[in-house]
Homo-oligomer: A and B are copies of this chain.
Amino acid sequence: MQKMNNKNKIFIDKLRSSGLRPTNQRVEISKFLFNRKKTFHFTVEELKNSMNLKRSKKISTATFYNTVHALKSAGYLKEFSLENNTSYYDTNISSHHHFFDNGKVIDINSDKITFRKLPEAPKGKKIKNVEVVIRLENNN
């Protein structure tokens, strides 16, 4: 019973191609994640809290986890880790780099970093990707 207006088509398509029916909850999550200009880095808990804050009828934790996992498996989200034991997700699925600044994450486009020297992959292996983390601290 999804109103299939053009406005939501792109978000619905991501769900469909992730093997998910575009239910209301899922479409709202998909819109929340992908209807923005800048990359979004988030934990499931952060996503849940910021979406549910504005809602009278809350979306359940399980639905957030399920939807995020399906979108990740389909390649619409990338998972990464900081130095705590929580999964972070990134709406920028290209191979790219990051500044880490006290828990804040900022994208660095791939072309902003190039290498003069890189090691070979060990025997029998090949390089899947190369990603750089630049850790920041305050001046002085």
Contacts and interface: CB of A to CB of B under 8 A. Distances in A.
A135 B124 contact: no
- Identical chains in the assembly: 2
A134 B138 contact: no
Contacts of A114: 115-117
B113 A117 contact: yes
Interface majority SS (helix, strand, loop, mixed), chain A: strand
A129 to B, nearest CB: 5
Interface in A74-131: 79-87, 99, 101, 106, 108, 112-119, 121-122, 124-131
Contacts of A116: 114-116
Contacts of A79: 83
Contacts of A62: none
Interface in A20-41: none
Contacts of A126: 136-139
Contact of A136 (B80, B82, B85, B121): B121
